[in-house]
Homo-oligomer: A and B are copies of this chain.
Amino acid sequence: MPLDLTPSQALGLWHAVTLQQVHEDGRDLTLRQLAILLEIYLVPPPHTVRGLAAKLGVTKPVITRALDTMGEQGLVTRMRDDRDRRNVIIKRTVDGALYLERLGDLIIARGRAQNP
């Protein structure tokens, strides 16, 4: 079931969602932070700082900082790995799942409203 859309639909969808995101989302996540969040919640665990850095093509401090910020907001949690205590395992939270669920709903709603 390929997801085929026209250039007009594609940009229109991005426009509508981005607009509403700016309007209503008090969190104001960076593009990088959002990418990290989506990676954590959509890709099977385990997730580590190093792994996320490699996947996104950024340095480790970027991941650490983003996890700090999103951790304060309750979107993710960190736990040391007991098997290899150098590693840190990034874990999902209820609030994070809720946040992305709302984002998904927003995309769907805007997609539906896009070409009625």
Which positions 26-46 of chain A face chain B at CB distance < 8 Å?
28-32, 34-35, 38-39, 41-42
Contacts of A101 in B (CB 8 A): 7
A interface residues (Cβ-Cβ under 8 A, vs B): 1-7, 9-15, 18-19, 21-23, 28-32, 34-35, 38-39, 41-42, 55-58, 100-101, 103-105, 107-108, 111-112, 114-116
In the complex, A114→B3 CA distance in Å?
7
Contacts of A15 in B (CB 8 A): 35, 38-39, 42
Of B5, B7, B29, B58, the contact of A31 (CB 8 Å cutoff): B29
Which residue of chain B is the closest to A32 with respect to CB atoms? B22
Contacts of A14 in B (CB 8 A): 34, 38, 103, 107
In the complex, A79→B103 CA distance in Å?
36
A38 touches B11 (CB 8 A): yes
